[in-house]
Structures are given as structure tokens and as C-alpha cells.
Amino acid sequence: MTDTPTAGAAPPAPDAAPGARPRAGRVLRYLGGRLLTAAVSLAAVMVTSFFLFRILPGDPVAAMTEGREVSVEQMEALRREFGLDQPLWRQFLDYCAGMLRLDLGVSYEFHRPVAELVAERIGPTVLLAGTGTLIAAALGLVLGTRAAWRRGSLGDRVNSSVALLLWSVPSFWLGLLLIVVLASGTGWLPGLFPTSGMMSADTAGGLDTAIDVAHHMVLPVATMVAVVYAQYLMIMRSSVLDEMGSDYLTTARAKGLRDDLVLRRHAVPNALLPTVTLIFLNLGRVFGGVILIETVFAWPGLGSLFYSGLKVPDLPLVQALFVIFASAVIIMNLLADLVYPLLDPRVRT
């Protein structure tokens, strides 16, 4: 390892003061690059979404008018209304134009603009997914750190075993179990929590509603946390174990720091770097889980909307939702790339 001085340092004379830093230009270029990649990914997702759902079997118009007396002319009129009589390339262009205008089309099933439906139901999904991820991350990080610090102890082994077990459990089954045990009135703790939905019909609004929503939220969030925290725990445990053999921890101990301070002030911040990135990148999985959990608990969010839309098939709806889910992941990846340099000074230069 040769001794190569950085700019401004010339032994044996004392270092010169730092010159103007051309970092702003580099940062902008990095940002621009990442934004461009994200935009390209987004475009690719939009194209995929369009073509993917055109393979859906079944005639949407037929599904829409099922059970109702309609003449052939009326079906033709419907087809024209939704642009389904146009050649495929025309439909594609209309779709792209619409996307760029943020006009997501009109739902076949609900006869309302998709954008409106999304606006209505994005709140509950964000509430569920956000709360679940935050709790799971906090739990996973704390338990993972403790497991690593006391590696091999009973606590560590119990923690890791429970995490492994919960990781293997299908989330929907766990949700069902929780419903049976805690909600449906026939388990051991009858009727502790509501079995489905987000709100009861008879709340007075304001604080009352908030408490009611929270009450409904407990089981779905618990299910989500149980399945997701295990991943964060294992990642954090592994990261901390990676750090624990490091020399700078010996330096910290030699300075007279207590063991828990060595852990908190030195090992954990270093271990958090790869963990935080992985948490962001894992959010794709979280969305898959959200769809499941919303379906099991009848939570009125985007996930259950997507699932019910697939059956019709409600093309504009599922196309738009697919793009939204994928975009959320793309945005999270972008955020991960942008946040990492803030946390790790070694990457900033």
C-alpha cells in the first residue's frame, strides 16, 4: 500500500488549504444519470404493462355486459367507446399518450376514471405498507444487532430460528391464522380484532375513526411485520457480524468505550450501510405481500383492487396499477441510490 497523497498534501511541508471543489458538477451528473435510467425503466414498464394484459383471455366487453341484455350493436358501441375496435398499434399510441398526460383511462368495471379510483385507495395501501415496513425495519434492525452481538448465545439462536421459521411461513396463511385466533370469535381470544375491512360503519369521525382504523389495522400490519422483519433481521445480523472482526472496533475499545457504546456508535452505523440499501431494494417484495394481505383482510387498498380487476379483466385498471406498483419500486431504487452517498462518505467523492 503506497503512500499517495491526496490533492493539497505535499510532505514534508504542511498541507495547503483545500481548493475549490468541483463536486457539484459530478453530483449533478450522477443524479442525471440515475434519473435517466429510472425514466427508461419506467418506459419499459409501461410498454410491458400494455402488452402483458392484452394476452388476457376473454372479451372485456362480454365480461362487462354479462348478465345484462345487450344487443350486438350496443356491444359494438361499447367496444368503440373503449377504443377496443382500433388496431393494436393505435390503442398502444393512445395508451402512451394517455400515460404521459397522467390520464389512466376509465375502469371497465366501475365506470369511473382510474385515476380517481387510485386516489381513493392509495391512502390505505400506503398506510398499511408504510406502517408495516417501518415497524418491521425497526424490529429487524434492533433484534438483528442484538443477535449478532451475542452470537451463539441462546438469545441469538432463538431469534435466528424464529426469524427463519417466520420467513418460511406463507404470509396469507399467517393472516388467516391470526384471524381465526384473534378475530373470528371462535379462537382462544374471541373477537379481539375485526376480521376484515378498514373501518366499521358506525364511527363518529375524527379521533374515533382514527382509533377504529388503527383497530382494524392491527392484524394486517402484524401479519406483514411477522413475515418481513425476518429478512431485515438476518441482513442486519449478517452486516453486524461482518463488522465485528474489524480493527476500528479494537481501537474504540482501547479508548475505553463500554461495549454497548462500541456497538452503537461504531459497529452499527457501519453495518447499517448495506442494510439500508437492501431494505430499499426489498420494497418490491413488500408490494407483493401487500396485495396478498389486502386480499385476505379485505383491506380497501390498491392491492385488492388489482386482484379484483384481474378477474374482469378490467384492462385500464390493471394496466395502470401494474405501472404504479413497478414505478414505486423504481422510485425506491432511485431513492436508495441517492440516499446511500448521504450515509457513506467514502462514496461521495
Residues within window 41-80 making contact with another protein, judged by CB under 8 A:
41, 44-45, 48, 52-53, 55-57
Minimum Å gap between C-beta 206 and another protein is 31
Would you say 150 and 156 are in contact if contact means Cβ atoms under 8 Å apart?
A: yes
Return the C-alpha cell found at 164: 427463519
Give the nearest distance from C-beta 71 to another protein in angstroms: 30
| Residue 101 binds another protein, judged by CB under 8 A | no
By CB under 8 A, what part of segment 3-42 binds another protein? 3-6, 9, 11-12, 14-15, 17-18, 41
Decide: is 141 part of the binding site for another protein (CB under 8 A).
no
- Give the nearer residue to another protein in terms of CB position, either 212 or 239: 239
Q: Which is nearer to another protein, 9 or 158 (CB)?
A: 9
- Cβ neighbours, 10 Å, residue 175: 22
Q: Which is nearer to another protein, 221 or 271 (CB)?
A: 271
16 or 93: whose CB is closer to another protein?
16
The answer to whether the beta carbons of residues 331 and 49 sit under 8 Å apart is no
- Where does this chain touch another protein (CB under 8 A) — which range of 70-78, 138-146, 200-208, 253-261? 253-261
Per CB under 8 A, does 326 bind another protein?
A: yes
Number of residues this chain uses to bind another protein (CB under 8 A): 85
Interaction mask 146-165, another protein, x per CB under 8 A: -----x------------xx
Interface stretch with another protein, choices 81-89, 92-100, 200-208, 282-290 (CB under 8 A): 282-290
Q: Can you tell me the distance from the alpha carbon of 248 to that of 276, in angstroms, rounded to the nearest whole number?
A: 21
CA distances in angstroms from 9 to 17, 20, 23, 346, 349, listed in the order given: 9, 15, 19, 19, 17
CB of 243 to another protein, least distance (A): 10
CB of residue 66 to another protein, shortest distance in Å: 18
> Residues 169-208: x/- map of binding to another protein (CB under 8 A)?
xxxxxx-xx-xx---xxxx-------x-------------
Our finding on whether 122 is near another protein (CB under 8 A) is no
Q: Which of 67, 206, 255, 342 binds another protein (CB under 8 A)?
A: 255
Peptide bond into 345 cis (omega under 30): no
Residue 246, helix vs strand vs coil: coil
**Residue 113: helix, strand or coil by DSSP?**
strand
Is 290 in contact with 282 (CB distance < 8 Å)?
Answer: no
Report if residue 333 touches another protein, rule: CB under 8 A.
Answer: yes
d(Cα 240, Cα 269) in Å, to the nearest integer?
9
DSSP string, 257-291: --HHHIIIIIIHHHHHHHHHHHHHHTHHHHHHHHH
* Residue 269 binds another protein, judged by CB under 8 A: yes
Q: Is 81 helix (H, G, I), strand (E, B) or coil?
A: helix
Q: In sequence order, which residues have a C-beta less than 8 Å from that of residue 169 and are 6 or more positions away?
A: 226, 227
